[in-house]
Amino acid sequence: MKAQSRTLLEVEGLNIRYPTPRGAVEAVRNVSFTLGREKLGIVGESGSGKTQTGRAILRLTETHARVRADKLHFDGIDLLAANEQTMRRIRGRRISMIMQDPKYSLNPVMSVGEQIAEVFRVHSGAPARKARRRAVEMLDSVRIRDPERVYRAYPHEVSGGMGQRIMIAMMMTPNPDIIIADEPTSALDVTVQLQVLALLDDMVSDNGMGLIFISHDLELVASFCDRVVVMYAGQVVEVVDAGALHQARHPYTRGLLNCLPRIGTHGRDLPVLQRRSSWAAGISPRNRHA
């Protein structure tokens, strides 16, 4: 286990722009945070730039996006300056990512096992049989009952919860340092969602990884993560410790927390978040609904 530095990832002044025929769209503006071996939540409404931030770390934003940063360092490597080959070695092997819906993020015509074995083979050069064994082990480790059978199954044959476990197994296989989980459970039912999160939690803490958990669900992030980055319109509005979320000071964070319906709110109107233009100062108006 490597633990030379507490900080795995440093992001400073990250900007992502998309040139469009009607001027550039600023998807992410001046975002900074650091990640150690911890669970860091990034929270925001749709279009707040949280997904873009996650992808920029792996340098997988769309080709026409312009990514700039004062600093984007992982384990001493400048991710913006690294060549494609270095990036390929980092991707999967050291930084991995779990996407929202296994229905779309698994290759529909490859068997589940093949897809898991593939990532292992790419990074270890192991022979097929060994990769297969490893894949079955991984399926077992995400508490799939009949791993041999699921190994042969195809993505459309598995439920959403199982699909996401497979995804986790796949991304955990090379034992990376950082996992970026982009809304990994929002396509799942509540109880399954929590079970999958528990699994992710266990794996991350057992292996001492860093986790970036991207979600729109403030309550969930608060109860799951160690620290929370709150994003609004491409910017970080606040970074708070998860335990102290309910003492958050920014009106946006507070507004988000208050407007949630609860079992006790029956019969009353919910407080509505009043947006202020100052939160997104300097951001082109078009971006607000993007």
Using CB under 8 A, which residues numbered 136 to 165 contact another protein?
145-146, 149-150, 153-154, 156-160, 162
CA–CA separation, 3 and 208 (whole Å)? 9
Residues 192-221, mask of contacts with another protein (x by CB under 8 A): xxxx-xx--x--------------xxxxx-
Question: Among residue numbers 84 through 103, which ones bind another protein (CB under 8 A)?
Answer: 88-93, 96-97, 99, 101
Q: Which two tokens stand for residue 247?
A: 């003492």
Question: Among residue numbers 176 through 195, which ones bind another protein (CB under 8 A)?
Answer: 189-195
Least distance CB 104 / another protein (angstroms): 4
Distances in Å between the Cα of 224 and the Cα atoms of 27, 52, 96, 113, 282 are 26, 22, 19, 29, 33
Residue 80 lies near another protein (rule: CB under 8 A):
no
Residues 44-63, mask of contacts with another protein (x by CB under 8 A): -xx--------x--x-x---
Least distance CB 199 / another protein (angstroms): 9
Residue 245 lies near another protein (rule: CB under 8 A):
no
The DSSP bridge pattern shows strands 178-182 and 95-98 to be: parallel
Is 103 in contact with 187 (CB distance < 8 Å)? yes
> Which residues have a Cβ under 8 Å from the Cβ of 13 and sit 6 or more positions away?
30, 31, 32, 68, 69, 70, 71
Residue 75 lies near another protein (rule: CB under 8 A):
no
CA–CA separation, 172 and 24 (whole Å)? 37
Question: Among residue numbers 4 through 23, which ones bind another protein (CB under 8 A)?
Answer: 21
Residue 273 lies near another protein (rule: CB under 8 A):
yes
